[in-house]
């Protein structure tokens, strides 16, 4: 408990659940399906040998997947417990590094690592715990070479899967929570913190002038959100059909995803 003193609320919340995080989420088939969609994009964006940074990497599952396929990864997270867990997974692996660093403080890494990096990614809504994305974007710009891709996976604001799931549970307030503006309360590990459901215009505005948008994909357009667990994991054939539909409609129906994968490219604007 004392190790959490002084941490930002979101970091303290994830610190509190770090030890049980993989045990809770890894068995859920909906999470695995959405992760597969993101990893396909990561593999396309970052060729073998690329040096990339992950923001809000948690226990390191995606970073480990990239490491096993020949990429070098610097995982960052604001939770000390998450960084410790990921460090244990990476032990002895070439090209693996971790750093305790909040998304808003990336500029501070510029003097601690070899630059420039070849790309960046953030998965499963880590950046929805950041109220103002502008400091994050400015800091990231100091770390990446011109032309480097940045893949940011955030909560979608219009998620029919969540509407259906939460209405079926008799929780209409939860069903439409993402439509709200500003900070919204969330709770994990007995701790309350804020999340913000960033819209496309806000995200692209924060990333400018250092990054240009390069498209987006829906992650979980038909594959339901984790709110549908554990029920959906008991219906693997149905989930497989939803995953096939997602591969077809991820582009045209991107705005309806449980998550939305935003692609950006570092341009030539001076970092500051």
Please count the other Cβ atoms lying within 10 Å of the Cβ belonging to residue 14: 26
Rg (CA), the chain: 18
Q: Provide the residue ranges of all domains of the chain, joining segments of one domain with +.
A: 9-265
pLDDT of residue 5: 63
Band (pLDDT 50/70/90 cuts) for residue 6 is confident
* Sign of the dihedral defined by the CA atoms of residues 32, 38, 40, 42, in that order: negative
Q: Which CATH homologous superfamily contains domain 9-265?
A: Vaccinia Virus protein VP39 (3.40.50.150)
What integer is the mean pLDDT of 174-182?
A: 92
Band (pLDDT 50/70/90 cuts) for residue 196 is very high
CA dihedral 12, 23, 217, 95 (to 10 degrees): 80
Query: 46-85, pLDDT tens digit by residue?
Result: 999 999 999 999 999 999 999 999 999 999 999 999 999 9
Closest CA to 241 of 251, 231, 232, 228: 232
pLDDT at 143 over 50: yes
pLDDT at 3 over 60: no
Instruction: For residues 136 and 130, give the distance between their C-alpha atoms in angstroms, rounded to a whole number.
Output: 9
| Cis bond upstream, residue 209 (ω within 30) | yes
Closest CA to 223 of 253, 248, 251, 257: 257
Please count the other Cβ atoms lying within 10 Å of the Cβ belonging to residue 228: 23
pLDDT of residue 49: 98
């Amino acid at each position: 408990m004392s190790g959490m003193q002084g941490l930002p609320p979101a970091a303290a919340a994830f610190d509190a659940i770090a030890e049980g995080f993989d045990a809770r989420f890894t068995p859920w088939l909906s999470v695995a399906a959405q992760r597969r969609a993101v990893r396909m994009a990561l593999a396309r964006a970052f060729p073998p040998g690329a040096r990339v940074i992950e923001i809000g990497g948690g226990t390191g599952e995606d970073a480990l997947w990239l490491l096993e396929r020949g990429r070098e990864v610097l995982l960052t997270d604001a939770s000390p417990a998450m960084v410790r867990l990921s460090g244990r997974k990476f032990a002895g692996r070439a090209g693996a590094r971790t750093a305790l660093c909040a998304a808003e403080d990336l500029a501070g890494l510029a003097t601690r690592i070899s630059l420039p990096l070849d790309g960046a990614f953030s998965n499963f809504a880590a950046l929805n715990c950041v109220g103002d994305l502008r400091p994050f974007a400015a800091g990231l710009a100091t770390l990446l070479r011109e032309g480097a891709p940045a893949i940011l996976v955030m909560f979608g604001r219009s998620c029919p899967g969540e509407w259906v799931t939460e209405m079926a549970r008799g929780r209409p307030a939860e069903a439409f929570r993402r439509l709200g503006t500003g900070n919204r309360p969330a709770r994990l590990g007995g701790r309350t913190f804020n999340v913000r459901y960033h819209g496309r215009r806000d995200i692209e505005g924060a990333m400018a002038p250092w990054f240009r948008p390069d498209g987006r994909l829906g992650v979980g357009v038909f594959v339901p959100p984790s709110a549908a667990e554990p029920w959906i994991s008991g219906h693997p054939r149905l989930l497989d059909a939803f995953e096939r539909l997602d591969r077809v409609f991820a582009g045209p129906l991107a705005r309806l995803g449980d998550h939305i994968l935003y692609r950006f490219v570092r341009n030539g604007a001076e970092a500051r």
